Structure 1
């Protein structure tokens, strides 16, 4: 069975714009996904990136235009300046990790719900009530928001180290079991073709 390591940040607008396409691709090819939420700011620092707020104004302006364009192209709701961004991404990441460990729900739906809460619904995904609602909506026990904290923190740190070792430097970033790497939601078609053996 093919396998995809999915490195992402729960506050990444580009991961939000990926929607459910990764899961659709994985299902089409019988591939498994391991969700690896991480601290994107730490990843930038480790791999030569720059926080959006510290980038040159030309880069910031282009990012603002292009995010809106991409959302329109994908027919997705999107708020360029959400009320709670940036926010502490650790609690929501711990919830994804705990849910993946627990099983019984839809981890992809959980990740999408958290990102939608940030980029569409003006909710703070660092807050316990928001995380619990997203867990419940994806079929998980909301109490995972509490019980998975210690293991979540350990895995969260490990995900960063694994991302650096795997050559990831942004979010979303997809790595297959044959070490093919794809950065950005606009490379999902490439991932699809790679898994089909045509790229």
Structure 2
């Protein structure tokens, strides 16, 4: 059985635009997904990337156009300038890790609900009540927002180190065996790879 290591960021618009397509591909091929929330901004600093605020205007303008095109193509609601971005993505990541450890819900849905909260629902995923609502919607105990914070912080930090060691430089980033795929627009390539066609 194949395993997909999915490095994602709770604040990434591209992780939001990934929707549940990865989960659909994994189910199609009987693959498992190992979710690894990490601090993508810290990864930028260590892998040659540039935070949005420091990018040349040509890059920020292109990003704005491309995000809106991708959202339209995918039929997903999208707000290019959400009310609560940037914010602290760590609390939502810690809650995700607590849910991952506890089980009982749908991790793919949780990842989607968290990112949707930022990019479509105008919610601040640094706030406990928003995190609890995300957990509940994905079938997890909302009290997980208040538990395992130390373990969540440690796992989040380990995920960053693993990401850098394994050549991850953005989000979403997927690793299948020795193959790396960057971006929500590469999910179709993962599908082909798992089918033995790529």
Alignment of 1:74-153 (within 5 A): 74-153=74-153
Q: 1:53-104 deviations in whole A, cap 9, x for unaligned?
A: 1100000000001100000011110000000001101000001111111111
Shift of 1:148: 1.9
* Residue 187 (structure 1) aligns with: 186
Q: 1:98-143 deviations in whole A, cap 9, x for unaligned?
A: 1111111001111100111000110000000000000011111111
> What RMSD over aligned residues (CA atoms) do the two structures have, in Å?
0.6
In 2: Cα distance, 1:165 partner to 1:77 partner: 35
TM-score after normalising by structure 2:
0.99
Could you list the structure 1 runs, at least 4 aligned residues long, displaced by more than 3 angstroms after superposition: none
Shift of 1:161: 0.5
Q: Which runs of 5+ in 1 are unaligned?
A: none
In 1: Cα distance, 2:128 partner to 2:149 partner: 12
Shift of 1:157: 0.1
Shift of 1:165: 1.0
In 2: Cα distance, 1:6 partner to 1:148 partner: 21
In 1: Cα distance, 2:101 partner to 2:20 partner: 20
Alignment of 1:1-199 (within 5 A): 1-176=1-176, 178-199=177-198
Count of residue correspondences:
198
In 2: Cα distance, 1:111 partner to 1:121 partner: 14
Q: Which runs of 5+ in 2 are unaligned?
A: none
3-state SS of the aligned residue for 1:85? coil
In 2: Cα distance, 1:14 partner to 1:184 partner: 7
TM-score after normalising by structure 1:
0.98
Q: 1:17-73 deviations in whole A, cap 9, x for unaligned?
A: 000000000000111111111111101001000001110000000000110000001
In 2: Cα distance, 1:46 partner to 1:179 partner: 21
3-state SS of the aligned residue for 2:141? coil
In 1: Cα distance, 2:175 partner to 2:102 partner: 23
